Structure 1
Amino acid sequence: MRPDPGQVLHFSEDPTITTFTPHVAPTSLETEPYVWAVGADRCPDYWFPRACPRAMAWRDPGTTDDDAARILGSGCGDRVHAVEYGWLKAITEVRLYAYRLPVEPFAPIGDPPHAVVATVPVRPLGPPEPVGDLLALHEEAGIQLRVLDRIRPFWDEVISSTLGFSGIRLRNARR
């Protein structure tokens, strides 16, 4: 599930949204109200239930071969997502939807950019689309999906490596 040219996506478990209104998320470090979305490159970050903690790593231009082999594995592709066993059932059962939004009101945020944001209300280009089988999406995209007892040790390895990385909802991970 990726956006078409001129679009970005917003993923949600709510299929009833008619307008996305800028707001400050309770867990956000940002203080300005935004509508959040992602481009094609960051869509896989959101192929999960909203509250699911996930640690993601990928090969970047500065990634060393040693770090890639140690964390991604030899011959295992250029990207890995790690989740905990306790979330596997939710990943297979969640009804996730993608909203296609026009790219025009959005601007990149982050350094390097990890999402796009709008400061005005945004109406979807059409009805939400069911995302479908999240495990199949990972497989089709060639993304390893690791299921671990705890993701924090994996996360500690990733953030001290030369790989690109992102962690989402890590506060929900097992201690």
Structure 2
Amino acid sequence: MPGEVLHFSEDPTITRFNPHVAATARQPDAYVWAVDHGRAPDYWFPRQCPRAMAWAEATTDADDRAWLGSPRVHAIEYGWLRRVQTARLYAYRFDAGPFRPIGDPPHAHVATEAVEPLGAPEPVGDLLALHEEAGIELRVVADLWPFWRRVTASTLGFSGIRLRNAAREPG
């Protein structure tokens, strides 16, 4: 809904979100993290699932568009497919008022004060079906790193989440 941001979790029992410094944080400040509707698909995964995401932008060249093959692709490793298929994910909705965009360009929203959801968390449902309905190709690969190297060297837009959990490249 307009004026709202979202937080995704496998825990449906959270009643209050307190700012904290995440173990993987690149900044020292304590935040409550959320995303807007446009970035929600980045989080249609179990929390620890490594994923590499790529999409065509206005500046993406024809070769990169052809290689990608779809307007937006999310890639995961085979070892995570069963978890994606069986995860029970919940969306928490918040008033966007206490949040501000973070990143350049902005990729998330953060609050520096404790926030409470607008209501009970809502089950997200079938994560594979969500991708299909949104027109996002979900690629399942043996090794995430070749895909990641290709998109980061391209003219595509991209994002990687929990990549430290990906299987390590041989050698």
Superposition TM-score tier, normalisation by shorter sequence: over 0.9
Runs of 4+ in 1 over 2 A off after TM superposition: none
Aligned residues: 168
Unaligned runs of 5+ in 1: none
Measured after TM superposition, the shift of residue 32 of structure 1 is 0.2
> What do you get for the CA RMSD once the two structures are aligned?
0.6
- % of aligned pairs identical? 68
Q: Which residue in the other structure is 2:34 paired with?
A: 37
Aligned to 1:100: 93
CA displacement at 1:30 relative to structure 2: 1.3
Which whole-Å deviations, capped at 9, do the CAs of 1:60-105 have from their partners, x for residues lacking one?
12111111111x21xx3x1000000000000011110000010001
The CA deviation string for residues 135-175 of structure 1, in whole angstroms up to 9 with x for no partner, is: 00000000000000011110000000001100000000011
Are 1:17 and 2:14 matched, yes or no? Answer: yes
Q: Which residue of 2 aligns with 1:59?
A: 56
Residue 165 of structure 2 is matched in structure 1 by 172
**Which blocks of at least 5 consecutive residues in structure 2 are unaligned?**
none
Counterparts of 1:30 and 1:92 in 2: how far apart (Å)?
Answer: 33
* Corresponding position: 1:142 with 2:135: yes
Aligned to 1:27, the other structure's residue is in SS state coil
Counterpart of 1:7?
4
- Per the alignment, in what secondary structure is the counterpart of residue 90 of structure 1? helix
**Partner of 1:158: helix, strand, or coil?**
helix
Question: Is the partner of 1:115 in helix, strand or coil?
Answer: strand
What is the deviation of 1:115?
Answer: 0.3
Matches of 2:33 and 2:145, distance apart in 1: 26
Q: Structure 2 CA distance, aligned partners of 1:58 and 1:115?
A: 17
| 1:14-46 per-position Cα deviation (integer Å, ceiling 9, x unaligned) | 101101100000111110000000001100000
How many Å separate the matches in 1 of 2:117 and 2:58? 34
Does 2:105 correspond to 1:112?
yes
Relative to the length of structure 1, the TM-score reads 0.95
TM-score w.r.t. the length of structure 2 is 0.97
